[in-house]
Structure 1
Amino acid sequence: MTYQNILSELRENILYVTINREAKLNALNKATLAELAAIINYATTHHEIRGVLLTGAGEKAFVAGADISEFQNYNLEEGKELGRTGQQNVFDAIANCPKPFVAAINGFALGGGLELAMACHIRIASENSRLGLPEVTLGLIPGYGGTQRLTQLIGKGRAMEMITTADMITAEKAAQIGLVNEVVPPSALIARAEEILAKIKQRAPLAVASAINAINASLNPEVNGFNVEIDEFGKCFDTADFKEGVNAFLEKRKPIFKGN
Structure 2
Amino acid sequence: MRTSAVLAALLLCACSRVDFKQARYLDETGQSARAVKAYESFLRRAPEGPERAEALVRAARLYAFAFGRCERAVPLFEEAARLQSFPEWAAQGKDGLLDCPDFFPLRGGARWMYVDSETAGENMKLDIRMSTGTRAEAAGAYYAGETRFRDYKRSYDKKDWTVWEYDGPSKAPILRYPFHAGNAWTARVAGKEVRYLIEEDSAPVGVKAGTFTGCLKVKSHPAGEPAWVYDYYCPGVGRVKTTIGVAEGENPNTELAESWLLQN
Q: TM-score over 0.5 for the alignment?
A: no
Bigger Cα Rg:
2
Q: Per the shorter chain, which TM-score range?
A: under 0.3
Return the TM-score normalized by structure 2: 0.27
Which has the larger strand fraction? Answer: 2
Return the TM-score normalized by structure 1: 0.27
Which has the larger helix fraction? Answer: 1
Q: Relative CO higher for 1 or 2, CA cutoff 8 Å, sep ≥ 6?
A: 1
